[in-house]
Amino acid sequence: MNGVPPERRAPYVIRLRGPWHFRPLKRLGTPGLPESSCPLPAAGTCRVPTTWAGVFGNDFLGRARFERRFGCPSELAAGDRVQLVLQGFDGTDGVAVNDVELNTPAGCGELIQVDITELLSPRNVVAVEVVALSEPACCRIGEARLEVLEHDS
């Protein structure tokens, strides 16, 4: 293909910017108030990348789930692979595709790259649980994308 060796071809990229549905799950560490006396922020939608404070404001520390629906990339050939790539998601504490938990590193902004080819169906959901324990303005909800890696033909 255009004189470029197959092993050097760039992946086809599908950005998963939005809409992402978010839902606060649990409030953590509100000084002076028991957890049950503080209501959770409302659920809603957002585009990524963004910040925790941009979604929830500066008064909510805790756990939230971000979900994004997507279709299976079209025209996948036999042997093509699809990777989910998350970059700059601070406080990631779990990633799932179609309710299957993926083995991913927890942490601050780690690059997460997972082959999800075998998990794909015509309609899919990626879910990311994020925990913000301090400084909501600094907690990033980063970029998400699919990378289609073509099989050598």
The encoded tokens of residue 40 equal: 């959770």
Each domain of the chain, given as residue ranges in start order, spans 6-149
In a structure prediction context, what are the per-residue pLDDT tens digits for the chain, which is 153 residues long? 454 445 546 789 999 998 999 999 998 865 555 555 678 999 999 999 999 999 999 888 899 999 999 999 988 988 999 999 999 988 888 999 999 999 887 766 779 999 999 999 999 999 999 998 877 778 899 999 999 998 765
State the residue for tokens 């599908």.
14
**DSSP states along the chain:** -TT--GGGPPPEEEE--SPEEEEEEEE---TTS-GGGSPPPPPEEE-SSEEHHHHH-SS--EEEEEEEEEEPPTTPPTT-EEEEEEES-EEEEEEEETTEEP----EES--EEEE-GGG--SEEEEEEEEEE-S-GGG-EE-EEEEEEEPPP-
The CA distance from 85 to 83, in Å, is 6
Residue 34, pLDDT score: 54
Superfamily for domain range 6-149:
Galactose-binding domain-like (2.60.120.260)
Put simply, whether the predicted model's pTM sits higher than 0.95 gets the answer no
